[in-house]
A and B are shown apart, each in its own frame.
Chain A
C-alpha cells in the first residue's frame, strides 16, 4: 500500500447523491449522542470518519442502515427516506452493506452459506446462482478455497474478508465499515485494507470508520472528524492531515500520529 498514491481520490464521483443526512439528532435516554449532523455523500465517494472513542462514529453509521433509530432530522439513502416503516428499512438494508469490528459471521453456517444466505432469502435467488456469485466474491477477497469451512476455522483477517464478501454478495450500492481492522492483529490488517482499497478503486460508495490514516490518505475523498457527537471538521485528506483547522482535530491527530 503506497501512502503517496492519492490519484484515486477525485476519480469516479458522480453528481448523484447517495446519502443525505439533514439536522439529524439522536439520544440514548437522556444522553445526546449525535447533535445536528448534516452530511451529503455523493455516489462513488469514499469517506473516512475518525474521532476519539465514544464520539458517536459507530452510532452515526449505524443510523444510516437503521440499526439505530434516530429521533430528529432526516436521513435519505438512495432516494428512500428512513422512517420507522419496516418496508423502507428492509429495502435500505438490502442496498447498504455493513462490516463490523467483530466480523459477526454466522458461526453455525459455512463460509459459503454465510455468503449465500441473504441473496437466497432476501433476493429470492436460486441457490446455484447465489453460490456462483458467492464464489466470485470469495475469489475476489482471495479465500475461495475456504468456502466449505466454518468461520471458527479461519483467522481474524480471513473472517473479516469473508464478512466483506458476504456484504458484497447482496450487490450493495453503499458499503459501511465500522472499525473493520481494529480487532485484528497487525499482520492481518494489511490484507483487509488491501481488499477495501480494491473495492474503493472499483468506485464503491464507502463510509469507513477507521484510524488507519494511511488508508485514509490513499483512498478517501474526504475525512470527517467527529467529537462529542458532532462533525467538527471535514476536508480532503491532504488538507485534513497537513492543515487541520480546529484545535480538537490537531490534538487528536497529534495523539494518533504521534506514535
Chain B
C-alpha cells in the first residue's frame, strides 16, 4: 500500500539552473557595461551626473537573485557585483527568472515587460526614467543587432557608438574601465 505521503505528493519549486546561470552572466556583463558607459558615453554620463552624489541602483530577480548592484559615489559609477544592499535608492525587481531570461535573450522588450507587469520598482520613481534611458544606451553599446527588439527607440548608430562598442568588448567587459 502506498503511503499517504506518496499518494498526496508535494510539489517543490525546483530551480531553473541553466536560465539562472545565463542571466547571471548577462547581468555581470551589463554591470561592467554600465561602468564602462559612464566613462565613454557622454549621454550616459549626463544622466548619471544628474543623480544625487551618492546613489545606489539595484536590478534583481525575485526571490533570491541574481542581482546587479551599481553605486554612484566619488564621481564614478561602480559595479559591485551581486552585493546586497538595504538602503538602495532604486530597485528594479523582476518578478521571476523566466521573464528576466526572456528579456536578456531579446525574446521580450523592456516596454513589454513593464506593460505585462513582470517587474516593479521600489524607491524614487522619478529617477527610474533616467535609469531606463541609460539602460537603453548601454544595451545599444553592447549589442549591435537586436536592440530594436529591446527598446522603444533605438539611439542612432554613430561612429562613436561603434568605437565605444569595441572599447567595451575589449576592455570594459573585463571590468577594466572604471
Q: Indicate whether A and B interact.
A: no
- A residues neighboring B (CB under 8 Å): none
Which residues of B are at the interface with A, using a C-beta cutoff of 8 A?
Answer: none
